[in-house]
Amino acid sequence: MCEVVLPCNYNPLDCPSSPPKSRLFSILMLYCWQREYDKRPYKHFQFKILDFEERIGRRYHCIRDFGLIVNYLLKRPQISVSITGVPISNWDSHLLKKFAHSLIRAWYIELKLCRLPLEFFVMMRLNAPSMDVCSLSLEGTPLSDEDVRVLREFLIASQSLRILNVSHCSLTQYNFAMIADGVYKSKGVRTLNASRLLGISLSLDTEKVMSVVGSLIMHNGLEELTLEFCELTAQDMEPIAEYLRKTSSNLRRLRLSSNLISADGAFFLMRGMSIGGRLELLDISHNSIGSHGGEWVSRYIASCRKLHFLYLHNNDIGAFAINQILLSFKKKCKLDYMSLYGNEFDSRSAMIVRRLLDSEVVLPSELDISYTYDESLQTYRVVPWR
C-alpha cells in the first residue's frame, strides 16, 4: 500500500481490470484540454483534479490516470507544469521516476495541494544538477521533516532555482530553519514565500523565526520575502527594519499581510524604508495598525523614494489618519498602486479623493477607492474601486 493517504483507496490486488463506465481519459483528451487554456506552442501544462472529476464523471485513479499524465509530459516537454490536488503514490517507483524525469526541462513547476512521497523529493535531488527549473511552488502540499531535509539538499544542489514557494506546507518553526539554511546556501534563490508557519503543540516562537529570517536576508540577498499568517508582532519587525535601513539592501518586495505588527511595527518598517529607500512593494494589510500606524505611514511615505506598491487595506485606520495619507500626495504621485479600502472614511476623505482624481495627481488605477455623490447625505462619500 502507498505511504500517502490516497482518496482512491488503491489496492493492487483488488484493482478492476477495466475502469467503470465513464468518459474515456486519454493523452488526446489532455492535448485537447491544453488547447482550451493555452496558446501555441502549448508549453504550459495544467491539471486540476476537481476539473478532471467533473469533466470525466468519475474519481481520479492514482496509478492509471497519473500514468497518462506522465506519458503526456514525456512526449511533450513543457515550459511550465501546474498540477493541483493530485495525490502521487510511491507504489510504482518506475512511474514516479518517469514523473521526476518529465520535470527536468520545465522552468516553472507548481505542485499545489498535492500529496508527495519522500521518494519524489529524493529523485528531484538526484536530478537537481540537470534540471532547468527556476520557480518551484509547493503551496498547500504537506511537508514532513524528511521531506524538508531532502528539499534542503535540492536547494543547495540546484543551479537554476530562483523562486521558492513553501507557503501553507505545514512547516514548523523548527524545520523552517532547514529551509532557510538551504536558501542561504543555494546558488541563486532570490524569492522566498514561507507563509503560515506553525508551532506544532507550542505557540509559534516568532522571535526565533525572525532571528533566522534576519540572518537570511542579511547574508543571502533576497529580493522578495513573503511571511503572511505567521503571527508576527511589532518586535519581530526590527530585524527586517534594520536591513531596510541599509542603502545596500537587495530586498525589493516585502509581503507581511495578516500578521499582528500593529502601529509600532508599521513605524519600524516605514522608518527603515525612508532611510534606505530601496523597497518597491510593501504589503501590511490585515495587520490592525490603527490610526496611530496610519499616522506613521503618512509621515514617512514621502521619503520612500522607490516605493511603487503599498497595501494598507483592512487595518482599522481612522478617517483622520487616512486623510493625512491622502494629503501626502501633494506632488505627482510616485506610487503605481495603493490600497486603502476596509478602513474608515468621512466626507473629507471623499473630497480629498475627488480633488486628487480630478486634478490627475492620482490616476483611478492607482487607488482602490473612488468617490460618489450621496443624495441622501447631500455630500460625497468614498466607494470601492475594484
Residue among 88, 109, 87 nearest 98 (CA): 88
Report the pLDDT value the prediction gives residue 6, as an integer from 0 to 100.
46
Please state, rounded to an integer, the average pLDDT across all residues of the chain: 90
Are 274 and 244 in contact by the 8 Å Cβ rule? The answer is no
pLDDT tens-digit series, residues 45-84:
999 999 999 999 889 998 999 999 999 999 999 999 999 9
Question: For the residues 207-226, what does the mean pLDDT come to?
Answer: 92
**CA angle, 131 then 137 then 138, to 5°:** 110
pLDDT tens-digit series, residues 11-35:
555 444 555 556 788 899 999 999 9
Report the pLDDT value the prediction gives residue 18, as an integer from 0 to 100.
53
Longest dimension (CA), the chain: 76
Are 189 and 157 in contact by the 8 Å Cβ rule? The answer is no
Least confident of 142-156, 198-212, 343-357: 198-212
Residue among 295, 301, 338 nearest 320 (CA): 295
Residue 212: how many CA atoms within 13 Å on its side-chain side?
19
Question: For the residues 261-281, what does the mean pLDDT come to?
Answer: 94
Neighbours of 322 (CB within 10 A): 27
**Which sign, positive or negative, has the C-alpha torsion 261, 263, 268, 271?**
positive
Model pTM score: 0.90
Report the pLDDT value the prediction gives residue 168, as an integer from 0 to 100.
95
Provide the β-strand partners of residue 163.
Answer: 135, 191
Look up cell 502540499; give the residue: 141
Could you tell me whether strands 369-374 and 379-384 are parallel, antiparallel, or unpaired per DSSP bridges?
Answer: antiparallel
Report the pLDDT value the prediction gives residue 182, as an integer from 0 to 100.
96
Q: Which 3 state secondary structure label does DSSP give 337?
A: strand
As a whole number of angstroms, the distance between CA 49 and CA 44 comes to 17
Q: What is the CA radius of gyration of the chain?
A: 24
Neighbours of 46 (CB within 10 A): 17
Residue 201 clears pLDDT 80, i.e. is over it: no
Residue 206 clears pLDDT 80, i.e. is over it: yes
As a whole number of angstroms, the distance between CA 74 and CA 106 comes to 11
Give whole-number Cα distances, 176 to 183, 199, 376, in Å.
11, 11, 54
Please report the beta strands in 147-293, taking only residues with DSSP state E, as ranges in sequence order. Answer: 163-165, 191-193, 224-226, 253-255, 281-283
Residue 98 clears pLDDT 60, i.e. is over it: yes
Q: Domains plus CATH for the chain?
A: 232-386 (3.80.10.10)
Give whole-number Cα distances, 263 to 195, 269, 275, 291, in Å.
21, 10, 19, 8
Report the pLDDT value the prediction gives residue 1, as an integer from 0 to 100.
43
Question: For the residues 280-292, what does the mean pLDDT come to?
Answer: 96
Residues for the chain: how many in total? 386
Residue 297 exposed, middle or buried by CB count within 10 Å (0-12, 13-18, 19+)? buried
Report the pLDDT value the prediction gives residue 16, as an integer from 0 to 100.
47
pLDDT tens-digit series, residues 172-191:
988 999 999 999 999 999 99
Secondary structure (DSSP) of 276-291: H----EEE--SS--HH
pLDDT tens-digit series, residues 116-149:
999 999 999 999 999 999 999 999 999 999 999 9
Residue 10 clears pLDDT 60, i.e. is over it: no
Report the pLDDT value the prediction gives residue 139, as an integer from 0 to 100.
96
